[in-house]
Amino acid sequence: MVNPLLKNIGEDVMGFLNEIQLKYPTAISLASGRPDEHYFGLQDFPVYFNTYVDAVAAAEKKDRQTVMNNLGQYNRAKGIINEQVAAYLEKDEGIKANPEDLLITVGTQEALAIAVMTLCDKEKDVIIVEDPTYVGITHFSIITGYPVTPVQVNERGLCLNTLEQKILQHRQQGKNVKIVYVISDYQNPTGNIMPVENRLRLLELAGKYDFFILEDNAYGEFSYDGTNVLSLKALDTGKRVIYLRSFSKTLYPSLRLAALVAGQQVVEEGKVTSLSDLMAKTKGYITVNTPSINQAVFGGILIKNNYSLKQVNREKIANLKEKRDQLISSLNRFLDAGKFPWAKDISWNIPGGGFFITIKVPFKVTKAEVITCAEQYHLVFTPMSFFYLGEGGDYEIRLAFSHVSVAQISTGIERLAMYLENSIRINN
């Protein structure tokens, strides 16, 4: 027997998409939200590592060998580059955090696990997630048995009236909503952004109903026109937000680094305790500590760039904008309803940042449709239903344009249009 909860996660979304990609290697993939490898700059890895070693040796008056030996050892569960990351958060994101309130985690995925396992009582507490959302939180909660409830999103993010109703319904059933998980910037999968008035209202609701907001920011800096809405964390005056900042998309996923910011105090057995200390305790039994070598490389990147990633990301953002523009112009060209009447019921959003776009289509998009499109049209996309915890997304697809080239986007959309035309004809 294995964990019976495993079967509740239904579709192994990532596994399925990977298999399709392997089976049809020449297909263009608009399925994967991977960052573009052209910007990784991994050849500079040793430079950054050495920058960090030199900086620590100078600050702590130690020789390089001692610093390196320390990097080879077990290390602090909270992390070793907390000061550098706190400086970055303040400079680039307007978030003031005490370095001791930070945990440097093995990606956001570990931070999600730590937050849920530290805060929630499986018997009494409920986690609310946006529907659709990133499967990292939903699938983790399902396989570990934490109750998770979906609330739909629209083009303004989480539906706050429905959220309030759900909280009250749970209370009537003797359950407490402990965490509300949101991706407020360029949400995965929809690509939408939560406007500031909704952020303020969500913060107000968190105070009123006493829950934590788990804000997952993986895409916030990828704003194409440079206009950014302040994060919930930066707007939070009531210490309601636990902030998760992934560096997988801004730098590269193999660093496996994210920052968790939790400046709250909680009462534990009558004693006031810092939440970040409790989280460090949980982390100790998940990954012991985050690899120090990776932290040193990231620390070096921050030191070399004066604690800002704005310059590091400038070209990437310009490139993403070019891809978004190519995507929209290709959609306008190949799905022009004036020229192609079959395309009249197809629509899409125009994301202002991030990696994703949503396309609405007039037929049900199943797993079989993905296979047909890959096999016959050499294009892979993701059905939006893969990201729903509840019912929904049957008539939508997500396209991710971060990983492909500008030229592939135009070919990919031409192929998508051929596939859509055929499917619409078959379904009529």
- Residues in contact with ligand PLP by CB under 6 A are 33, 107-109, 134, 136, 183, 188, 216, 218, 246, 248, 253, 258
Q: Which amino acid is at 322?
A: E
Least distance (Å) between residue 108 CB and ligand PLP: 4
Which residues lie below 8 Å from residue 246, measured CB to CB, with a gap of 6+?
107, 108, 216, 217, 218, 257, 258
Residue 113 CB, shortest distance to ligand PLP, in Å, is: 10
| Minimum CB distance to ligand PLP, residue 423 (Å) | 27
Question: Dihedral of CA 59/65/69/72: which sign?
Answer: positive
User: Which CB atom, from 95 or from 104, has the smaller least distance to ligand PLP?
Assistant: 104
Nearer to ligand PLP, 48 or 356 (CB): 356
The residue number with the shortest CB distance to ligand PLP is 107
What is the residue type of 160?
A: L
The minimum distance between CB 67 and ligand PLP, in angstroms, equals 26
135 vs 365 by CB, closer to ligand PLP: 135
| Closer CB to ligand PLP, 170 or 256, in the complex | 256
Q: Across the strands, what pairs with 177? A: 126
- Specify the residue, 282 or 423, whose C-beta has the smaller distance to ligand PLP: 282
CB nearer ligand PLP, residue 79 or residue 136: 136
What secondary structure, in 3-state letters, does the chain show?
CCCHHHHHHCCCHHHHHHHHHHHCCCCEECCCCCCCHHHCCHHHHHHHHHHHHHHHHHHHCCCHHHHHHHHCCCCCCCCCCHHHHHHHHHHHHCCCCCHHHEEEEEHHHHHHHHHHHHHCCCCCEEEEEEECCCHHHHHHHHHHCCCEEEEEEECCEECHHHHHHHHHHHHHCCCEEEEEEECCCCCCCCCCCCCHHHHHHHHHHHHHHCCEEEEEECCCCCECCCCCCCCHHHHCCCCCEEEEEECCCCCCHHHCEEEEECCCEEEECCEEEEHHHHHHHHHHCCCCCCCHHHHHHHHHHHHHCCCCCHHHHHHHHHHHHHHHHHHHHHHHHHCCCCCCHHHCCCEECCCCECCEEEEECCCCCCHHHHHHHHHHHCEECEEHHHHCCCCCCCCEEEEECCCCCHHHHHHHHHHHHHHHHHHHHHHC
- Minimum CB distance to ligand PLP, residue 425 (Å): 34
| Shortest separation between residue 353's beta carbon and ligand PLP, angstroms | 13
Task: Give whichever of 33 and 412 is closer to ligand PLP, judged by the CB atom.
Answer: 33
Q: Min. distance of Cβ 244 from ligand PLP in angstroms? A: 7
Task: CB nearer to ligand PLP: give 67 or 261.
Answer: 261
Q: Which is nearer to ligand PLP, 118 or 184 (CB)?
A: 184
Rounded least distance, CB 382 to ligand PLP, Å:
12
- Closest contact distance (angstroms) between CB of 269 and ligand PLP is 32
Tokens coding 356: 């994703």
Least distance CB 251 / ligand PLP (angstroms): 10
Nearer to ligand PLP, 52 or 134 (CB): 134
